[in-house]
Each structure stands twice: as C-alpha cells, then as structure tokens.
Amino acid sequence: MTDKLLLAGVIGDPIAHSRSPRLHGHWLERYGIEGHYVPLHVTRERLHDTLRLLPELGFSGINVTIPHKEAVLQIADSVTDRAALIGAANTLTFTASGKLQADNTDGVGFLENIKQYTHDWSASEGPALVLGAGGAARAVVSALLTEGCPQIYLVNRTRARADALRENFGARIVVVDWTRIPDVLGDCALLVNTTSLGMVGKQPLHIDLDRLNPQTVVNDIVYTPLRTELLDEAQARGCHTVDGLGMLLHQAAPGFERWFGVKPEVDDRLRRVVLAK
Ligand code: ATR
C-alpha cells in the first residue's frame, strides 16, 4: 500500500457518455484501491497544456478518446511500436519524471475479447475479412497481423483509406470492393465489422452473408446494440459470434494495471455494471 493518492481518468470531447469511469470505478471498488478515475472534458485547444499539467496534479495516467487519439502521439515523449503502427493512442502513462508514454491497447482488447468467447480460436487459422478502414480497423488489423493472420481482406466504402492501410501494413492486406464480399467470404476464419454501421442511430450494415461458412467466427465491434443484426444473422447461419463490449472492457485492463497496480478481471459482473442503465 502507498500513501500516494492514485489518480487516472479519460480525456475526450465529448466525454459525458464515456463508460470508462464506471468500468474503472467498479475495479477500484472491487479491489479496494484508494484511487479515483475521472472523466475530463478536454478540447483540442487545451490538449497539450492539459497533458503537461496532469502529471503535476498527481495523475498516473489517462485514457484518450475521440477526438484526441491521433493528436496525443505528437505530444507524447515516447510511443510504443503498436501505437505508432496504429497511428493512434488510447492509453497514456506518466513516468515518475512526468514524461508521457503513449500506447494503444485497442488491438489487444479486440484479441482478448475474441479469445475469451471462443474455445481455441487463433488468428493464424485462416484469412480474416475486416469491414472498415478507420482507427478501429487499424487496431484490429495490426493485432491480427501480429498474431499471425495469413491474410486480411479489407473492405471499405472509401477505397483510398483501405489502400492506405495496405501501404502501411503490407502485402498480407488485400483490398476488396464491397460488392466482392461474397467472393472471399467463404474462405474466412473470421469476419469483423469495425465500421459504425449497425450502431444505434446509424445506418444498418447490409452485406450478403449467403456464402458465410458456419465455421467462421463473427465479431462486431459495435456494442450499442449489444446484439447487432450482423451477429444475429451470423448466429442464425450457425456461426460463433462475439459481441463488441468485451473489446471495450479488455482495452481498459492494461491501463488499470499500470496505474493502479492490479491486473483486473474482465468478467460477467463487469459486463453487467457497464451495461446497467
Ligand atoms: P473509428 O476510429 O471508430 O474506426 P472512423 O475512423 O471514423 O472511426 O471510421 C469509421 C468507419 O466506418 C470507416 O471505415 C467508414 O468508412 P469511410 O472510410 O468510407 O468513411 C465506416 N463508415 C461510417 N459510416 C459509413 C456508411 N454510412 N457506409 C459505409 N461505411 C461507413
């Protein structure tokens, strides 16, 4: 036990809807840790000064959400390889001398979630089909490649963004047009939606799943709603499906461990707490 008051939080704009305070708050209570995790509304204009001030105020670290995930890389004193590769950070840790280390745990959060809800899934089993080419897709692609995924078919509305990922991540990425999804779907061991389609308030995700193989694991990183149409339709076709909430929970764990010193459990209790109205 330490005398130091342990402080961490999340910065973003907007921030009121973030579920991170509830999530970390639950872990703090569960492990009896004397600490606080607070939401901080920080605009772009205030980002630099805020990040310099937080360690002086006693913060151990901070999560970063929209719209600051890319900008913090320019401010950080050091950036992990995976954050550099993804081009964004979600977890910042302040060293004892106030230096700012930027990391990205979205990719490991994605992998841990799938591993938790499948028996013997491994990224190296076969090709993956990834829908989307935004920040979340970069984290997913980076994690899958690191884990030995042999090929990633990448589909995006704006093809140039998918091409940019291929430039970055190399020849295991194959950019596929939206209309050609049926041609590659049958081959895939994994299908992941990283777009915002299917989220409450957004347009539905419509893809032709006729050739979806029942052996394919299907994951949607959208978690509002928890059961998306994609997951329901895939399940009806006999596929194993994994919802997106676990990615949010698992991406939070490394930060909590670094800042508060306990490796936290991601379990059904935590899911219920985060889902509660
Ligand atoms: P995030 O960081 O959450 O990935 P993002 O970078 O804004 O957010 O990416 C959102 C993804 O959803 C993108 O792949 C986007 O496609 P574009 O690159 O073409 O914008 C996809 N997306 C969002 N709305 C879409 C829509 N109506 N139809 C198809 N794709 C959509």
Residue nearest to atom 7 of ligand 1 (CA): 134
Task: Considering the domain delimited by 6-104+248-275, tell me its CATH architecture.
Answer: 3-Layer(aba) Sandwich (3.40)
Q: Which of 4, 69, 115, 277 is catalytic?
A: 69
Q: State the CATH architecture for 107-243.
A: 3-Layer(aba) Sandwich (3.40)
Q: How far apart are CA 7 and CA 1, in angstroms?
A: 15
The DSSP secondary structure of 45-78, one letter per residue, reads: GGHHHHHHHHHHTTEEEEEE-TT-TTTHHHH-SE
Query: Would you list the domain boundaries of the chain?
Result: 6-104+248-275, 107-243
Q: Which atom of ligand 1 is nearest to the CA of 136?
A: 4
Which residues are 40's β-sheet partners? 11
pLDDT recorded at residue 5: 84
Q: Say what the pLDDT of residue 108 is.
A: 97
d(CA 263, CA 255): 9
Residue with tokens 């973003």: 12
Separation CA 156–CA 257 (nearest Å): 35
Global pTM reads 0.95
Q: Can 6-104+248-275 and 107-243 be said to share one CATH topology?
A: yes
Secondary structure element (H or E) that encloses residue 172, with its range? none
**Could you tell me if the CB of 136 is within 6 A of ligand 1?**
yes
Distances (CA, A) of 78 to 21, 72, 75, 151, 257: 26, 11, 9, 30, 19
Whole-number Å distance, alpha carbon 132 to ligand 1 midpoint, is: 6
Residues 6+ apart with CB under 8 A from 187: 126, 127, 213
Q: Which atom of ligand 1 is nearest to the CA of 137?
A: 4
- Rounded to the nearest whole angstrom, what is the distance from the C-alpha of residue 177 to the centroid of ligand 1? 15
Quick check: CB of 156 below 6 Å from ligand 1? yes
Q: Is the CB of 25 under 6 A from ligand 1?
A: no
The tokens 């109205």 sit on which residue?
277
- Whether 4 sits among the annotated catalytic residues: the reply is no
Ligand 1 mutation pick, 179, 196, 199, 203, max ligand atoms within 8 A of CB? 196
Tell me the pLDDT of the chain (277 aa) as tens digits: 456 789 999 999 999 999 999 999 999 999 999 999 999 999 999 999 999 999 999 999 999 999 999 999 999 999 999 999 999 999 999 999 889 999 999 999 999 999 999 988 999 999 999 999 999 999 999 999 999 999 999 999 999 999 999 999 999 999 999 999 999 999 999 999 999 999 999 999 999 999 999 999 999 999 999 999 999 999 999 999 999 999 999 999 999 999 999 999 999 999 999 999 8
- For residues 168 and 174, give the distance between their C-alpha atoms in angstroms, rounded to a whole number: 12
